Structure formats: C-alpha cells, structure tokens
A and B are shown apart, each in its own frame.
Chain A
C-alpha cells in the first residue's frame, strides 16, 4: 500500500516560476527521497534527506523535512520545460530492508 499522499496531484506553471510539491507519510523513517519519472520511463533519483536533517539543497532543488508533522516538500526554482514530469516522494523505514514506499506522485507541467 502507498505510504501517504502527495499534494497537489497535478500542477501546471509557466517556465521560470517555482514549483512546490508536498508529501506526507505515516510511519517513522530513516530517510526520505524524491524521484522524477518522465512519461514512459524509469525513475531518476533527485535528492535524499535523512530523518535528522531539516533542509537540503541540490542545484535548483530544495527539500525540507518535518518529522513531527511527517511531511516533506520539494521546491523546484526557476522551472524549465524539461522539468515536466511526475515527481514521487519515497520513504525508507527505520527497521526494514531499505525498500522504498512511494507516494502517489505529483504531475508537473511546465509551459514554455
């Protein structure tokens, strides 16, 4: 079963704008990861944030984690048309095999 929910389910913005996606989860975690999936393709790892971290940056990506609220957000700044894809958060639990538990995803469309 899915770990939690992502919000919004779909997002459409203009090139250059920022995009924010939110993810909630249900159980305790070791880390939370964000993945991107282009239509008809596999997933690409974007960024990982550990449970003892609150914020992490990678290029135009900024991820926050609030373990008290069991939520995370992904911010993509200065979006480009090439950022159009589905974005998934995935958690790794504290005491499991490292399997990823995914959210339902946010579909982002960036209009040129």
Chain B
C-alpha cells in the first residue's frame, strides 16, 4: 500500500530554466491536487484533476505553470522560465471519491524547489 510519491524530492534550478515535477498518486484515486507551500505558510491550491480532466486551474500563478495528467494517474507539474519567487515546496495530494468535498486528501512528501 504505497502512498503518494513525488519526484524529485529536491530540485535546484537556475533562474530561467524549465522544471518538471512528478506525482504518483495512490492507485485508484480519481482526484489529484497540486499545492504550493511557501516557507512558513500554509499550502495554497494550484490545480485539480478528476481522472485526466483538469477541472480547476484557478490557482496557477501564471501561464508559466502547466500541469497534466494524460492517463488519469501520474501527473506532472511543469514550470517554465523559473523565477526566484517560484521557490517553494510543491505538494501533490490524491483523493478516492468522486464526491470530492467529503473526503480527506493524501499528501505526498513534496518537492522542494529552489531557484537561484
């Protein structure tokens, strides 16, 4: 019974580089969420998938951020032309139920991105 896994755990990027962060949700979980957590703050919602459909991307901070989940399981969060303000921990969470608002989310350990 593996939990949510994320890779890499740590990523250092030079400003202007593109990065790709991977999330492997719990098998069978329909819902997948990405959050961004700045140091000392609570996580902030980025985007949500139900299976392969991206139903909410209202939290993505700019058009440099792009997420996909093409086969309804693994998801990738891509950040183009990284900026220093993108430095944060990126958390992925998955949830079992289609009736999303009733169920807890299971979080991965996060990817800590540092942009230098």
Which residues of B have CB within 8 Å of A105? 41-42
A33 to B107, CA, bound (A): 14
CB-contacts of B31-82 with A (<8 A): 31, 33, 35, 41-45, 48, 50, 55-56, 59
User: In the bound complex, do residue A2 and residue B48 qualify as a contact, i.e. CB atoms below 8 Å apart?
Assistant: no
> Please, how many angstroms separate the alpha-carbon atoms of A93 and B110 in the complex?
24
Q: How far is the CB of A83 from chain B (nearest CB, A)?
A: 18
The listed residue (A2, A92, A97) touching B41 by CB distance below 8 A is A2
Residues of B within 8 A of A2 (CB): 41-42, 44
CB neighbours (8 Å) of B106 from chain A are 45
**Once the chains bind, are A104 and B41 in contact (CB under 8 Å)?**
yes
Q: Residue A100 at the B interface, CB < 8 A?
A: yes
Complex contact A99–B33 (CB within 8 A) = yes
Interface size class of B (residues with CB under 8 A): 20 to 34
Chain A residues engaging chain B, CB cutoff 8 angstroms: 1-2, 30-31, 33, 35, 41-45, 48, 50, 88, 90, 92-94, 96-105
- B59, B101, B107: the one within 8 Å of A42 (CB): B107
CB pair A30 B104 closer than 8 Å: no
Within 8 A of A (CB), among B75-105: 91, 93, 95, 100-105
Q: How far is the CB of A111 from chain B (nearest CB, A)?
A: 21
Which residues of chain A have C-beta atoms less than 8 A from B48's C-beta?
97-99
